[in-house]
A = this chain, B = another copy of it.
Amino acid sequence: MIRVLLADDEAMIRAGLTAVLATDPGITVVAEAADGREAVELAHAHRPDVVLMDIRMPRLDGLAAAAELAGVVPVVMLTTFDEDAYVARALADGASGFLLKAADPRELLIAVRAVADGAAYLSPRVAHRVIAGLRTNELTRPATARKKVSSLTPRERDVLALVGRGLSNQEIGRELHLAEGTVKAHLTSILRNLDVQNRVQAAITAYEAGMASPPPRI
């Protein structure tokens, strides 16, 4: 049985959600909160499997409440509009789902089941926005960067990766067992082939191509 906590300041909305959730015999509403502060407290008290939380609420808003519950209980945000700022903040702050109130009631059940199962759920319109965001982040910029980087020799990519982490030529030499002069020669070739003027721009290219730091791919 999936245990759900509802948080919405309007009793009517809570009643509606309860009614929808009741159509699924595997889901039960264990508590209801009328504001963010109460939601956080009840979440700690009841330990539900999922929290359904409205964004606009008195005292503590849904985003802040979700942030406090991040890692404790998965939270699905509910909202009337798919406003960009909310989506970005909510997902960054730890929400596991984002549901539009205008959604098909069946979506609600799927979302609750998915989130209780450790997955995540985005309303189609929200998913659309997120994907559009990814596209500009992952495709347009890095695509050219990635292409340029792929034209380098393997050794040059080794060097570029370390340049992208801000290492000096001397440090890169130590890391790769090369003389500093060798590193510089590779770098000269890198700059020419990436069509940039200095190591800072090369580092940014490396960064856009996803060569930097602990790989944050999707």
A interface residues, Cβ below 8 angstroms from B: 84-85, 87-88, 91-94, 96-97, 104, 106-107, 110-111, 114-115, 117-125, 127-139, 141, 143, 163-166, 168, 196-201, 203-204, 207, 212-213, 216-218
Contacts and interface: CB of A to CB of B under 8 A. Distances in A.
Chain A contact residues: helix, strand, loop or mixed: helix
Given A138-B92, A196-B166, A212-B204, A87 B119 contact: no
The 7 residue pairs across chains A and B that have the minimum distance between CB atoms: A114-B124, A119-B124, A133-B218, A166-B201, A120-B128, A120-B127, A92-B139
Interface centre among A96, A128, A129, A137, by most chain B C-beta atoms within 10 angstroms, is A128
Nearest to A206: B204
B216 A137 contact: yes
Contacts of A212: 204
Contacts of A200: 163-164, 166, 199-200, 203
